[in-house]
Amino acid sequence: MADYIAEFQAWLQNEDNGEKTIRSYGSELRKFFRWYEETEGKGFIPTDITPIMLMDYRSYIMNTLEQKPTTVNKAIATLKTFFGWAVEVEYLKVNPAVKVKMKRVQQNTSPKWLTDQEQNRLLYAIEAEKNEIKQTRDKAIVETMRLAGLRVEEVSDLKLDHVDFKQEYITVVDGKGGKYRTVPMHNDLKKALKAWLGFRTESDKALHRASTYLFVSERSGQLTTRAIAFMLDVYLERCGLLERSEQGEKLGGQHSVHSLRHTFCKSLVNAGVPIQNVAKLAGHDSIQTTLRYVEPSQQDLRKAIQSI
């Protein structure tokens, strides 16, 4: 059992999967192997596995363990990948998981993205900031997430040499899963970054000009993810896109720093960009993650009803 898992995980690593993904696949496989051994009373043998056996395992997870559809699909996706690998390395001639279907997931909520009107409100709120250096920096940060789809961690880790105005792209290093990608620069993003770099390199204020990081403050040579999230919350609150309780806590189901990345992905989907290109630009490990943006939001459904 251990040998199959070790070989499979080594293959996953060669395929440039992240450590978290590799551990997850290993964990799911161990669960399946244990079920198989308890059910069949013998050690795991790849050639003995049939589609019906895999369907029984799916039923076991769904009905006996009463797991959520997303958990069931995670297990099935692991088995599909594992047995696909087993065919590739010739442990099997046919993949028994091909015909095993994933459980249909009813999407109750979609990722929170900003409408065109909400994006304009946010940008107006930033432009109303009286501190010119802060306003210029914050707009560049927002545009980096809104128009290039960077995660907040990736924005924090951006360095000066990751921005190439000549080739007009941003290099995202050490993104989720330990990978990197290049994202072409939208014209509005290019303008925002150039404006910020003007202050970043020429201002008389102590903006940590010796720092290699792109986004800095007067006190820090690298703007943290927490500082970026807090900054955006302030603007979202100013333009009415975020509310707090009387105790000052953020109310649930509202926009956050992640809404900007979701807006990037949704905008690409709405523009008719092929889903595989959206996944590549966003740095998604799985196309299933990208498919969330094809799902209509509650606002989309409401708009459809009003069109009758």
11-20, 191-200, 275-284, 298-307: lowest mean pLDDT where?
Answer: 298-307
Pairwise CA distance, residues 98 & 94, whole Å:
9
pLDDT at 250 over 70: no
36 and 45 in contact (C-beta within 8 Å)? no
Distance, first Cα to last Cα, the chain: 58
Helix (H, G, I), strand (E, B) or coil at 183: strand
Alpha-carbon radius of gyration of the chain: 24
pTM listed for this prediction? 0.62
Pairwise CA distance, residues 296 & 272, whole Å:
14
Find tokens 């690998």 and name the residue: 85
- Which CATH architecture group holds 116-302? Orthogonal Bundle (1.10)
Domain segments of the chain as ranges: 2-88, 116-302
292 and 107 in contact (C-beta within 8 Å)? yes
Q: What angle do CA 205, 209, 214 make, to 5 degrees?
A: 110
pLDDT category of residue 111 using cuts at 50, 70 and 90: confident
- Which CATH architecture group holds 2-88? Orthogonal Bundle (1.10)
82-86, 97-101, 196-200, 288-292: lowest mean pLDDT where?
Answer: 288-292
Taking residues 262-284, what's their average pLDDT? 90
Name the DSSP letter for residue 176.
T
Pairwise CA distance, residues 3 & 91, whole Å:
13
Q: Give the count of beta carbons closer than 10 Å to the beta carbon of residue 41.
A: 7
226 and 249 in contact (C-beta within 8 Å)? no
